[in-house]
């Protein structure tokens, strides 16, 4: 019983860690779209690619779509979706990300992301990457994606304790 309670407590704390907002999370609103915690993983020299993540919420009554992204920090930016399939990482380009009224869409490790190609120099922690997001209804908005190491993201809750 002791271990069951211990496991439950561990699972609960993991869950809390997972849903707790990142302390330095940025938030902004553009029209009906709320943009929360835009961040990009730092990169190693020679990586030449990076992935950006953000949570979007459509506060409007009409559906919207994220159509594309651009950034002066990358030669090309695409919307991508990653998935794990029996030990194989699979990547595909998506042409739009739908935002139904009142829907939250989270671009996060393991799933949807903004894919930066042709990143000439490494992205370092704390760097602010300026990205223009283009929405079908809400139009274009410039968002600063904050660079942070991705391993702190994944080890949150079960790291050094």
Q: Under the rule (CB under 8 A), what is the footprint of another protein?
A: 41, 43-51, 76, 78, 80, 82, 84, 87-93, 109-110, 113, 115-117, 149-151, 154-155, 158-160
**Least distance CB 89 / another protein (angstroms):** 4
The structure tokens 């943009």 sit at 35
Cα 49 → chain centroid: 15
Helix, strand or coil, per DSSP, at residue 158 = coil
Beta bridge partners of 144: 130
**Least distance CB 4 / another protein (angstroms):** 10
Assign residue 118 a region (left: φ > 0; alpha: ψ between -120 and 50; beta: otherwise): left
**Least distance CB 34 / another protein (angstroms):** 25
Q: Which DSSP helix (H) or strand (E) runs through 16?
A: helix 2-19
């Amino acid at each position: 019983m002791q271990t069951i309670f211990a496991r439950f407590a561990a699972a609960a704390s993991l869950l809390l860690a997972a849903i707790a907002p990142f302390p330095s999370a940025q938030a902004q609103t553009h029209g009906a779209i709320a943009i929360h915690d835009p961040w990009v993983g730092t990169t190693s020299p020679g990586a030449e690619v990076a992935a950006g993540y953000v949570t979007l919420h459509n506060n409007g009554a009409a559906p919207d779509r994220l159509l594309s992204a651009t950034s002066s920090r990358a030669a090309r930016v695409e919307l991508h979706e990653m998935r794990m399939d029996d030990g194989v990482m699979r990547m595909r380009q998506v042409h739009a990300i739908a935002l139904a009224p009142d829907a939250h869409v989270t671009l996060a490790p393991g799933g949807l992301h903004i894919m930066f190609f042709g990143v000439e120099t490494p992205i370092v922690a704390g760097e602010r990457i300026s990205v223009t997001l283009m929405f079908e209804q809400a139009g274009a908005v410039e968002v600063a994606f904050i660079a942070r190491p991705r391993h702190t993201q994944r080890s949150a809750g079960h790291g050094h304790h």
